[in-house]
Amino acid sequence: MDVLDEQDIRLRTVAARLTGRREDQVVSQTATTPGLLHTAFGLTGGVLVAADEYPSLTLALASASAASGRMHPVVIESGAGWLTPDLIASRLTDDVAAVAVSLVDWRTGYRIDLEAVRDVIGDRLLVLDAIQGFGVVDVPYELADVVATGGQKWLHAGWGTGFLAFSDRALERLHPALSGPMGTSGAPGEVPSVLPGAAGYQMSRVDPVSQARLAVALESLAGVGVGAVEARVAERVERVFALADEFGVAVESSRDPRERGGIVVLRPAEGRLTALTASLHNHGVTVTTRTGTVRVSVFASTTDETLGMLRDALVSFATMS
């Protein structure tokens, strides 16, 4: 039992190291979404968010607004484009107290300029949904006031894993509203008090085996260095770009290394999406298909053999009538 009990602090220690926080500023979660819900229900005032963000973020804010009325989303309309610092700056109003963004956009693979966004929003809280980039994007996470992420994507830690990391000023301005027994203290028979700091943002106990899986993944990442992983992924991404160009498949994601992570978005010619996805499937290449595009996730562990399978799939696609 002692080993299981040690996994929480083990996870918080390495997560704090990777996000530039202290251990008491980090709390374990079962995924990104619960962390975003804790954050949304703790916010007050206007929160700038894009309609095209992954639903975990927009739904959390909409639910918190409807339930408490203490905060309200200020929405950037769908189709406004990549969340550049200029776009964000143009939508800031006096009632916006926080800005909620994804580190890497789930649809386009666009990676925000975290430092520039921090500059343009000033003293407002910056809430970062980091799941689509954490582990493959080397950025100064300490610039964000809240970092929410899970371990099932780039970290290969499996489902049931994640954490929240807060700045001190986020903990001062947020008000925990979804605390459960693990986030409180008190004697039986009385209403418990919410624990101070990040510890208040938890409900039930997180499975310690899941915490151990995530801790191992984060320790491995810290040992290798996020920069080394990012460089490896960038090299693999360039090879995917080259294959797409060779076979005439349009690339919609940014080719600028500063504006991408590990997601490559391909758009086949009109009427050719089914042929491309079928060819990829037949050659054992797993991708995600959405709104006429194919999303390819490139990992540090993506092998030359896998890239060869992708090339074979594109050869078959190119020869289909």
pLDDT per position as a tens digit, 194-228: 889 999 999 989 999 999 999 999 999 999 999 99
Q: Can you say whether the dihedral through the CA atoms of 227, 232, 235, 236 is positive or negative?
A: negative
Q: What is the pLDDT of residues 270-315, one digit of tens each?
A: 999 999 999 999 999 999 998 899 999 999 999 999 999 999 999 9
pLDDT of res. 291: 87
Judge contact between 48 and 62, C-beta under 8 A.
no
Residues 90, 94: Cα–Cα separation, whole Å: 12
- As a whole number of angstroms, the distance between CA 296 and CA 261 comes to 11
Encoded tokens for 205? 């106990």
pLDDT < 70 stretches in the chain: 1, 321
Max Cα–Cα distance, the chain, nearest Å:
73
| Whole-number pLDDT of residue 321 | 62
Residue among 129, 106, 102 nearest 265 (CA): 106
pLDDT value at residue 176? 92
For residue 267, what pLDDT is reported?
97
What local confidence, expressed as pLDDT, does residue 320 receive?
A: 84
Structure confidence at residue 245 (pLDDT): 98
Q: What is residue 151's predicted lDDT score, i.e. its pLDDT? A: 97
Domain annotation for the chain: domains and CATH numbers: 2-224 (3.40.640.10), 227-319 (3.90.1150.10)
pLDDT of 100 reads 99
Amino acid 1: pLDDT: 64
* Tokens coding 284: 């054992």
Judge whether 249 and 276 are in contact, CB under 8 Å: yes
- pLDDT of res. 318: 93
Q: Which of 83, 91, 175, 133 is nearest to 298 (CA)?
A: 133
